[in-house]
Amino acid sequence: MTVRKTGLALLYTLVGSLALGHASISAATLEQIKERGEIRIAVANEIPYGYVDLSGEAKGAGPDVARHLAKALGINRIKWETASFSALIPGLKAGRFDMVAAEMAILPQRCQEVLFSEPNSSYGEGLLVPAGNPRQLNDFSQFSQPDLKVAIMAGADQLEMLQALNVPEANRITIANNADAISTVATGRADAYAATSLTVNELASKSQKVESASGFIDPVIDGKPVRSWGGFTFAKGSESLQQHINTALTDFRKTPQWRKILEQYGFSEADIEQSGTQSTAQLCARAAQTP
Amino acid sequence: MPFLDYLPALLQGARVTVELTLYSTVLGALVAFGLGIGRHSRRAWLNVPCAVIVEIFRGTSLLVQLFWIYFALPVLGELVGLNLRLEPMVAGTLALALNIGAYGAEVVRGALQAVPTEQLEAAKALDFSGRQTLWRISLPQALPEMMPSFGNLAIQNLKDTALVSLISLGDLAFRAEQIRNFTQDSTTVYTMLLLMYFGMALVLSALMSLLGRRVGAWRNA
């Protein structure tokens, strides 16, 4: 009888948690991380935001800044983890890592799931097209036409943009990571790959078969041109870590070193200026306005 | 020579793949014998749970099992107050072993059922206990029959390890993705990957046939 009851209780917990869906693990505090002597930071292998090079070293705007912040907080060791982009938030929730340094865009929906630091960067959108741009693409809204296909990365916010621009699902192809983008576009499985301008430029430099669409028009959603602000991401419950990182980040952003890191990874003057114009609170609060 | 640049990272990954294959195949074999013998039993309390476990792990996607153990189990564990945040290596081994073990259980059961009834009747006539019959009569005859299928499963398991790259375990497939992301050189990287898996499968296949000859040696004695 008792066995059956415990079994039932367990089953209810299982079902309940599945129904809730938002349950998450109590996250590590700064003290616990210091005690452990190492912070676990995840990247999604996206050049130039956060990636791992051939020697296994983490590079990119996120990791390079994160290294300075960890040092400022007195954390000596960083354990870099690589996950696919769509596994970053689930990984934080399951306590697989303490922080994500992927310059993940600060979006209202994501603010409900995880915590964000203040913005570390800002970036616009772009399109990767086959060399010569045979279909003359330069605007996300073109993909609402029936015979055009656009590729996006699983879990990336380009999905929301395309949805807002009424691009039908049949015209969208989802790929797992940036490494697949060039072949997807070059072999004609999609007419273009929609990603941030930095990703597009980086990919375009890797192959003769593709290029960055010239004359690209920033998508306009709710009357505003789209721009994203990227920051570091934490699990709910990591508020103390988030605050300490924020303090260190605010200080570091005043140094020429910070600017140099962003410039080195291809962020434009406008990107750097824009990154300071919004606070995370403002970016998260957009939820109230957009349905 | 690009492939020389890629080799160190790939070999590092190959080591993880070999370890993972070894652990999960050995654990998977234990699971297979446990569940297979359980299913062969005529006692319902043993037979039914084993059948349920086999059906669950055979009937759900390995990839989903892996994600469930890695991403969902820690959250559920927290709810009931347990730390179920298994290391990627442990989570990977567990998912692979349970999956391959469920398939293996059917191989074990099939081979046990194929032991001629006369043998079991003779054992009964000689007053062998159930356990004695299993260990001294059924298993020695069934074991050589299982080996070809086990060889198949072991190789299947080696190739399935590629799925763990999706839970950030640095195996061969994971390293390959990392290199490909950095260099965009899909042709070289994937060709090397095919050859490396093939090489490992050949070695594993040789080991399994060696083991097969070993467990069947009593027939020639």
pLDDT digits (tens, 9 = 90+) for A4-32: 444 444 444 444 444 444 445 667 788 88
Distance CA A113, CA A284 (A): 11
Tell me the sheet residues that pair with A174.
A152
Tell me what pLDDT residue B148 has. 95
Single out the residue of A203, A213, A113, A198 nearest to residue A155, CA to CA: A113
* pLDDT attached to residue A64: 97
B89-115 tens-digit pLDDT: 999 999 999 999 999 999 999 999 999
- A256 compared with A32, residue with greater pLDDT: A256
Tell me the ipTM for this assembly. Answer: 0.74
Name the closest residue on chain B to residue A208, using Cα atoms: B184
- B75 close contact with A: CB closer than 8 A: yes
Do A29-122+228-288 and A125-225 agree at the fold level? yes
The answer, yes or no, to whether residue B19 has pLDDT greater than 80, is yes
What's the confidence (pLDDT) of residue B176?
92
CA distances from B175 to A185, B94, B171, B179, B200 (A): 24, 21, 6, 6, 16
Give the closest of A53, A84, A178 to B166, CB-based: A84
**CA–CA distance, B220 with B78 (Å, rounded to integer):** 56
Question: Hey, are the CB atoms on B85 and A82 less than 8 Å from each other?
Answer: no
Q: Is B132 on the interface with A (CB under 8 A)?
A: no
Q: How far apart are CA A126 and CA A178, in angstroms?
A: 14
Mutation pick from B3, B10, B78 vs chain A, by most beta carbons of A within 10 Å, is B78
pLDDT at A81 > cutoff 60: yes
Q: What three-state secondary structure class fits B53?
A: helix
Mean pLDDT score, B133-159: 95
**pLDDT tier at B1 (50, 70, 90 boundaries)?**
low
- Hey, which CATH number is domain A125-225, 3.30.70.20, 3.40.190.10, 3.30.70.3420, 1.20.1250.20? 3.40.190.10
Q: Assign domain A29-122+228-288 to a CATH class.
A: alpha beta
- Rounded to an integer, the average pLDDT of A144-164 is 93
The pLDDT of residue A16: 43
| Residue A189 DSSP code | S
Is CATH 1.10.3720.10 correct for B2-220?
yes
Partner residue opposite B79 with nearest CB, options A13, A52, A96: A13
Instruction: Show the DSSP H helices in B133-185 as ranges.
Output: 139-160, 172-183
pLDDT of residue A179: 87
The candidate with the shortest Cα–Cα distance to A58, out of A78, A28, A87, A37, is: A78
Cα–Cα distance measured from residue A97 to residue A249, given in angstroms and rounded to the nearest whole number: 20
* pLDDT digits 0-9 by tens, B165-197: 888 888 999 999 888 888 888 889 999 999 999
Chain A residues whose beta carbon lies within 8 Å of the beta carbon of residue B80: 10, 13
The dihedrals phi and psi of B147, each to the nearest 5 degrees, come to: -60, -45
Chain A contact for B187 (CB, 8 A cutoff):
no
- State what percent of residues in chain A have pLDDT above 90: 69
> What are the pLDDT digits (tens) for A96-141?
999 999 999 999 999 999 999 999 999 999 999 999 999 999 999 9
Asked whether residue B68 carries a pLDDT value surpassing 60, the answer given is: yes
pLDDT given at position A26: 61
Separation in Å, CA of A6 to nearest CA in chain B: 12
Which among A17, A25, A182 has CB closest to B184?
A: A182
A12 vs A195, residue with greater confidence = A195
- A vs B: CB pairs below 8 A: 77
pLDDT over threshold 70, residue B153: yes
Task: Give the closest of B71, B75, B181 to A177, CB-based.
Answer: B181
